[in-house]
Amino acid sequence: MRFDFQFSLNEWIEWKHANLSRNRFVLLRIAESSVIPLAILCALTIVFGSLRYLPSWLPIVMVGLIALGQIYLSTVPRFGRGALKKEWLTKRAFASKQQLDEFLELAYQKTVSERQAA
Q: What is the pLDDT of residue 1?
A: 43
Under a CB-based contact definition with an 8 Å cutoff, are residues 25 and 80 in contact? Answer: no
Average pLDDT over residues 82-92: 66
More confident residue, 1 or 103: 103
Is the model's pLDDT at 5 over the cut of 80?
Answer: no
Q: For residue 6, what pLDDT band results from cuts at 50, 70 and 90?
A: low
Record the pTM: 0.56
Domain ranges of the chain: 1-20+83-118, 21-75
Write out the H or E segment, with its range, that includes residue 46.
Answer: helix 22-50
